[in-house]
Structure 1
Amino acid sequence: MTIEKASIKDSEILTEITKKSKAFWGYDEVQMEIWAEVLTITKEYIETQQVYKLINANQIAGYYSYLTEDGDIVKLDNLFVSPEYIGKGFGRLLMDDFLLRIKNTNAKKVILDSEPNAESFYSKFGFEKTGQLETSIKDRYLPVMELNINV
């Protein structure tokens, strides 16, 4: 397995992974259609953000992306694994790579808006819930989480 920078030609497969991984948590087709645009990883996004893909057996198995919000704050924007790899350590590989990568920068804090079903995953890496964002689904909130690093 390797993790390497994604290229614009990966946009369709990254979008497919994002949508399938999100649907894994039981969201219906109507909700997935509502989210279609925000779950699309465009070529422009790949060109302008830091996007890294995990390759397993010559196939993209997952990816993560991040952006710098402020000089010392990094936002983990996406971390998705193909459903067939969920629960098999692939997410951990991606998160370990991400944290190692940003520890070599001036970042002091990582922030993210978590899928509610993934909150415990991020907690295992030391992220703490600092708030929540209301979503378009009644009584569903995204945990806002952060992790202090390089302090």
Structure 2
Amino acid sequence: MRIRSARPDEAELLTAIALRAKAYWGYDEAFMAACREELTLDAAAVERASALVAEEGARVVGFAALTGAPPSGELDMLFVEPDRIGHGIGRALFERVRDQARAVGLHRFTIDADPNAEPFYLAMGAVRIGSTPSGSIPGRELPLLAVELAS
């Protein structure tokens, strides 16, 4: 597996991965339709974020996007192809994002986590600091997590 910077022309591919990965958790069609806009990337969004992709051979199998400026940022997205979940790709992407955050001078980043992904982030060292409203589903609350970075 190789991790590299995402290219703006991969926005459609990354959107498709995000939608497949979200659906992996068993959400119904109505839920997925409500999330579609929030999970859709365009070339400008890929350029704005410090986006990374994980590749196995020529296949993109996951991606992550970090935004923000010192002292804090946000892990906006981290998604892995459903058939590759549990193979260390999410961990590798998260570790690279953490390194990238330190390198750009962030002291912390937050994550609005899907409840199904919260255990993964906690295992990676994130701490739950509260909850935040979903950007897609009115009335739904998401775990708000933080990753503190050593200076």
Q: TM class, shorter-chain normalised?
A: over 0.9
Give the deviation of 1:100 after TM superposition. Answer: 1.5
What is aligned with 2:101? Answer: 102
Aligned to 2:116, the other structure's residue is in SS state: helix
Give the deviation of 1:31 after TM superposition. Answer: 1.2
Greater mean alpha carbon deviation, residues 77-86 or residues 39-48: 39-48
Aligned to 1:31, the other structure's residue is in SS state: helix
Aligned residues: percent identity? 30
Aligned to 2:17, the other structure's residue is in SS state: helix
Kindly provide the amino acid, as one letter, of the partner of residue 114 in structure 1: A
What is aligned with 2:65? Answer: 65
Alignment of 1:98-137 (within 5 A): 98-135=97-134, 136=137
- Whether the 8 Å CA contact 2:7–2:47 is kept in 1: the answer is yes
Kindly provide the amino acid, as one letter, of the partner of residue 9 in structure 1: D
CA RMSD of aligned residues (A): 1.4
- Whether the 8 Å CA contact 1:107–1:150 is kept in 2: the answer is no
Give the deviation of 1:137 after TM superposition. Answer: 6.1
Cα distance in structure 2, aligned partners of 1:57 and 1:143: 34
Aligned to 1:126, the other structure's residue is in SS state: coil
Which segments of 5 or more consecutive residues in structure 2 lack a partner in the other structure?
A: none
Give the deviation of 1:105 after TM superposition. Answer: 2.6
Give the deviation of 1:50 after TM superposition. Answer: 1.1
What is aligned with 1:144? Answer: 144
Kindly provide the amino acid, as one letter, of the partner of residue 109 in structure 2: V
Alignment of 1:18-57 (within 5 A): 18-57=18-57
Which segments of 5 or more consecutive residues in structure 1 lack a partner in the other structure?
A: none
Shift in CA distance, 116/137, structure 1 to aligned 2, threshold 3 Å: farther
Please list every run of at least 4 consecutive aligned residues from structure 1 whose deviation after the TM superposition is greater than 4 angstroms.
none
Alignment of 1:2-17 (within 5 A): 2-17=2-17
What is aligned with 1:83? Answer: 82
TM-score normalised by structure 1 residue count: 0.93
- Whether the 8 Å CA contact 2:4–2:53 is kept in 1: the answer is yes
Cα distance in structure 2, aligned partners of 1:101 and 1:130: 22
